[in-house]
Structure formats: structure tokens, C-alpha cells
Amino acid sequence: MKISRKKINKKWFKHDSGAEFEVRPFPFSLFSSDVNVETRRLETTTLKDQFMYCLCDWKGLKEDDDKEFKHNDENKQFLYDYHEEIRGFVFEKANLTAQEEDRELKN
């Protein structure tokens, strides 16, 4: 059995809009289902947490005034909250990256 560290590699993907997104897969170790001792509630990893981790960078996004849409956590959150197409694209590519590595290891 081969073990590959390539699963953690970030990859650039071109979106139909022309923008590019650097995406990495979400690691299983960051999935959480811990019980918070203070609140006695189950805490789980949210889709937002996964998105924020998986989306590493982007190119070709502009604001309404044609200024660069800067890469930062605030803008990442904005993309997650209000741009379903980008949110879906990032999750699709994060899953695809992990699946591609699985296929390569099996060959």
C-alpha cells in the first residue's frame, strides 16, 4: 500500500467566469464532534469552517468598482455567504482533489 502526502496539496482550478481558485481538501482530523464541557453541547465542524480552510487563494475577482477583491478572511466569508456558485465550486474541487489522489494511489 502506498501512502501519499499529495492529498494535502493545494491546486489551482479555473472557474467558468475566468477567475481561478486555489483549493485544498479538508482533512479528516479537522472534523469535530466534541462535546463542549462548559456548554455540554455537541460541537461539529460547520460547512463554513470547511470552506474557510479549503479556499486558500483566488485570482481574477474584482469589486464593483473594478478594484481587486482581496484575499482575506472577511472576503472569504462573503463568498461563502453570498456566492453559492463559488461555494459549490470550492467544495467540488476539494472533493475532486482528494478523489484524484485516491485513484492515483490505486494504480
- Average pLDDT across each block of 10 residues of the chain; the chain has 107 residues. List them in order: 69 96 83 61 76 95 96 97 97 84 62
pLDDT recorded at residue 83:
97
pTM: 0.79
Report domain extents, the chain.
Answer: 9-106
**pLDDT the model gives residue 9:** 79
Q: What is the pLDDT of residue 42?
A: 57
Q: What is the pLDDT of residue 33?
A: 60
Query: Hey, what long-range contacts does 12-21 have (CB within 8 A, 24 or more apart)?
Result: 13/89, 13/93, 15/86, 15/89, 17/60, 18/60, 19/58, 19/59, 19/60, 19/61, 20/58, 20/59, 20/60, 21/55, 21/57, 21/58, 21/86, 21/89, 21/90, 21/93
